[in-house]
């Protein structure tokens, strides 16, 4: 969701580096209370609060006919909501709106983004989402959690600059045992182009 050049590129690089640390933290983390956040309309299952680790190459390998998506999963409504959340989080990042970002992210992801924003200077930032497409890569269950991976591709322009390509995978999660649980962003990874 947070893509593009400049300060956003640094954010993504740091998020990728922190992904392994967040995975370890998630293994020792106690069950957290449900947070009101990214509620994907019509979703029967959700994703966990810790980042889901996979390589972009393995995700791309599964993007063909062997996708791991339950037959009854509402893919279209999920992707509509995911794209809306992508745009909203871009705007929240531009405004440095930590309250809005908190509603859409796991505690670990929020902490990382907060730290990046504190390090960013106060130069105004505006991100124009020119085009964004989403592809559901997989939906898996791990214990009490459902985890979905969405590949976003498209174009962004920062501060009215030259459009830049977006190609990244977002991992979201939801607690299946909590009826009020919503989808939370738990990790972002750039795809590796070969």
88-100 residue pLDDT tens: 999 999 999 999 9
d(CA 141, CA 45): 9
Cα distances (angstroms) measured from residue 15 to each of 23, 110, 160, 186:
12, 11, 25, 10
Give me the pLDDT at residue 107, please.
96
At residue 49, does pLDDT exceed 50?
no
Give me the pLDDT at residue 5, please.
42
- The percentage of the chain sitting over the pLDDT mark of 70, rounded to a whole number, equals 64
d(CA 172, CA 83): 13
For the chain, give every domain's residue range: 7-29+45-190
The more confidently predicted of residues 12 and 147 is 147
Between helix 7-28 and helix 107-119 the angle, nearest 10°, is: 150
Tokens of residue 129, six digits = 């989402």
pTM across the whole model: 0.66
The more confidently predicted of residues 55 and 5 is 5
- The percentage of the chain sitting over the pLDDT mark of 90, rounded to a whole number, equals 55
Give me the pLDDT at residue 193, please.
57
Closest CA to 93 of 155, 171, 7, 14: 7
- Structural class in CATH, domain 7-29+45-190: alpha beta
Per-residue pLDDT tens over the stretch 68-91:
899 999 999 999 999 999 999 999
């Amino acid at each position: 969701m947070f893509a593009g050049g400049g300060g956003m590129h640094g954010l993504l690089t740091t998020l990728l580096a922190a992904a392994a640390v967040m995975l370890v933290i998630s293994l020792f983390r106690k069950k957290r209370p449900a947070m009101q956040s990214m509620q994907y309309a019509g979703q029967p299952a959700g994703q966990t609060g810790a980042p889901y680790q996979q390589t972009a190459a393995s995700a791309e390998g599964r993007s063909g006919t062997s996708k791991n998506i339950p037959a009854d999963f509402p893919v279209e409504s999920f992707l509509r909501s995911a794209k809306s959340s992508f745009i909203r989080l871009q705007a929240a990042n531009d405004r440095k709106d930590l309250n809005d970002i908190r509603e859409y992210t796991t505690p670990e992801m929020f902490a990382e983004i907060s730290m990046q924003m504190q390090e960013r200077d106060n130069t105004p930032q505006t991100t124009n989402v020119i085009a964004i497409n989403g592809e559901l890569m997989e939906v898996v269950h791990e214990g009490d959690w459902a985890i979905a991976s969405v590949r976003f591709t498209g174009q962004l322009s920062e501060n009215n600059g030259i459009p830049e390509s977006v190609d990244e995978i977002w991992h979201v999660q939801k607690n299946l045992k909590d009826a009020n649980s919503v989808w939370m962003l738990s990790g972002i990874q750039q795809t590796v182009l070969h």
